[in-house]
């Protein structure tokens, strides 16, 4: 089994699918890429058992076959080559691999491709086609709010609802919640599932430069994403997602409108003086003035700033975790942002001043108890 391939295009594709690989695996074979030649196409597979990613590259080859190639070694050597054709020669008896380049020859040991885990087949799938940019933006706007708690796996992914009213992506870690809706995208068959964080991060980075449509197939246990020359199959998170709509307060009589960048910069500066455990900042709103205050009593540190704002409602004092507030403000694109409040012990809602056409973005952050 021999083939000739461009060094830079092989490196680019291996780096794209290599994001699936774990640094430590229970099965040694998962430290490898599976190379499979079929006609003039090289298909590369990478897997961590939960997710499998494949990509295709055009090559010159005369014979079909497959071999598992050590991922770290082949990535390290490819990074050192300038653009040039590389010849891979595989001895199918010894599983030895020889790479011939302009500068010399490099030998490494491969493994039998048949040992590589079989790619899951999605039986009786439902499917939907969406624009790559829609899916990329939905992941981008929500994934930062998903949790990392292994005891609550349903909250470590992105909840996706497809319906004839539109599509909804939700992520929460119980302290903050983001709900992103697209009302300009309709789906005939209603469905909902929870997609894991790791494959969603992979999709997010690859879809950033992709154009056209992404085809999504899914059933009860797996989802498959196909776009350009990539395919990603991942196991869905099993479980019931919390009723996120019940958490969003419907009556919010107090509305603060403020310049997003100034607000974020103030919180960033003031939070440096906040308690390192709680990261608490206090917002005191009265009339057209917002005072932001933080202190760390243990070290006698404190800071406060004042900003002008537009405010409708009763004077209020409320505390938030500054890190959560900053994450949210950095994920809103508009010049101004609205903060809707009902009471100091109820969640605050952050909204862009004006949503993009067809979009509806809502961010919710839980308050922290003020230690007066």
Encode pLDDT of 23-37 as tens digits: 888 899 999 999 999
Residue 372 has pLDDT above 70, yes or no: no
The DSSP result for 55-103, as a single string, is: EEEE-EESS-EEEEEEHHHHHHHHTTPPS-EEEEEEETTTTEEEEE-SS
37 with 18, same domain: the answer is yes
Of 229, 246, 263, the residue at which a domain comes to its end is: 246
88 with 193, same domain: the answer is no
Mean pLDDT, rounded, of the chain: 93
Instruction: Give per-residue pLDDT as tens, 120-145.
Output: 899 999 989 999 999 999 999 999 99
Q: Where are the alpha helices (DSSP H) in the chain?
A: 7-18, 71-78, 132-142, 197-207, 260-271, 322-330
**Burial of residue 95, with CB atoms counted within 10 A of its CB: 0-12 exposed, 13-18 middle, 19 or more buried:** middle
The pTM for the full model equals 0.90
Residues making up the chain, counted from first to last: 372
Band the pLDDT of 267: cuts 50, 70, 90: very high
The mean pLDDT value for 270-284 works out to: 95
pLDDT recorded at residue 24:
87
97 with 61, same domain: the answer is yes
Count up the domains in the chain and report the number. 3
Q: Is 165 inside any structural domain?
A: yes
pLDDT recorded at residue 358:
85
Of 202, 225, 246, the residue at which a domain comes to its end is: 246
Instruction: Give per-residue pLDDT as tens, 327-343.
Output: 999 999 999 999 999 99
Instruction: Give per-residue pLDDT as tens, 66-111.
Output: 999 999 999 999 999 999 999 999 998 999 999 999 989 999 999 9
111 with 138, same domain: the answer is no
234 with 168, same domain: the answer is yes
CB 31 within 8 A of CB 70: yes
263 with 193, same domain: the answer is no
80 with 12, same domain: the answer is yes
Q: How far is CA 229 from the centre of its chain?
A: 20
Of 115, 143, 170, the residue at which a domain comes to its end is: 115
Residue 371 has pLDDT above 70, yes or no: no
Nearest-10 Cα torsion for 103, 6, 205, 51: -100
Determine the number of helices (DSSP H) and then strands (DSSP E) in the chain.
Answer: 6, 28
CB 163 within 8 A of CB 185: no
The mean pLDDT value for 360-367 works out to: 95
CB 120 within 8 A of CB 232: no
154 with 232, same domain: the answer is yes
Residue 54 has pLDDT above 90, yes or no: yes
CATH code assigned at 286: 3.10.150.10
d(CA 288, CA 301): 27
Q: Is 121 inside any structural domain?
A: no
Domain extent at residue 337: 254-368
pLDDT recorded at residue 185:
85
200 with 274, same domain: the answer is no
Q: Is 120 inside any structural domain?
A: no
């Amino acid at each position: 089994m021999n083939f000739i391939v461009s060094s830079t295009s092989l490196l680019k594709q291996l780096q794209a699918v290599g994001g699936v690989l774990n640094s430590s695996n229970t099965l040694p074979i998962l430290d490898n890429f599976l190379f499979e030649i079929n006609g003039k196409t090289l298909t590369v597979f990478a897997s961590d058992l939960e997710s499998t990613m494949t990509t295709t590259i055009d090559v010159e080859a005369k014979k079909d076959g497959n071999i598992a190639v050590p991922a770290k070694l082949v990535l390290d050597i490819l990074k050192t080559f300038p653009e040039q054709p590389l010849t891979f020669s595989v001895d199918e008896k010894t599983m030895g691999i020889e790479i011939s380049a302009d500068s010399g020859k490099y030998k490494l040991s491969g493994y039998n491709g048949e040992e590589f885990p079989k790619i899951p087949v999605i039986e009786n799938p439902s499917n939907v086609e969406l624009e790559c940019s829609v899916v990329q933006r939905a992941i981008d706007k929500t994934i930062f709010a998903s949790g990392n708690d292994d005891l609550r796996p349903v909250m470590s992914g992105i909840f996706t609802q497809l319906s004839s009213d539109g599509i909804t992506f939700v992520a929460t870690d119980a302290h903050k919640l983001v709900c992103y809706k697209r009302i300009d995208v309709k789906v005939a068959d209603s469905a909902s599932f929870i997609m894991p964080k790791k494959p969603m991060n992979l999709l997010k980075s690859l879809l950033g430069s992709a154009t056209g449509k992404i085809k999504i197939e899914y059933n009860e246990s797996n989802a498959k994403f196909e776009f350009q020359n990539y395919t990603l199959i991942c196991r869905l998170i099993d479980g019931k997602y919390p009723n996120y709509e019940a958490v969003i307060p419907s009556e919010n009589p107090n509305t603060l409108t403020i310049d997003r960048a100034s607000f974020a910069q103030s919180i960033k500066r003031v939070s440096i003086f906040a308690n390192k455990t709680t990261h608490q900042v206090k917002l005191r709103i009265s009339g057209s003035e917002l005072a932001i205050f933080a202190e760390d009593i243990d070290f006698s540190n404190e800071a406060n700033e004042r900003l002008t704002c537009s405010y409708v409602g009763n004077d209020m004092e409320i505390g938030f975790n500054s890190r959560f507030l900053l994450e949210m403000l950095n994920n809103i694109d508009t010049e101004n942002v609205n903060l809707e409040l009902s009471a100091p012990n109820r969640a605050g809602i952050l909204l862009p001043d004006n949503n993009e056409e067809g979009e509806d973005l809502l961010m919710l952050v839980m308050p922290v108890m003020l230690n007066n």
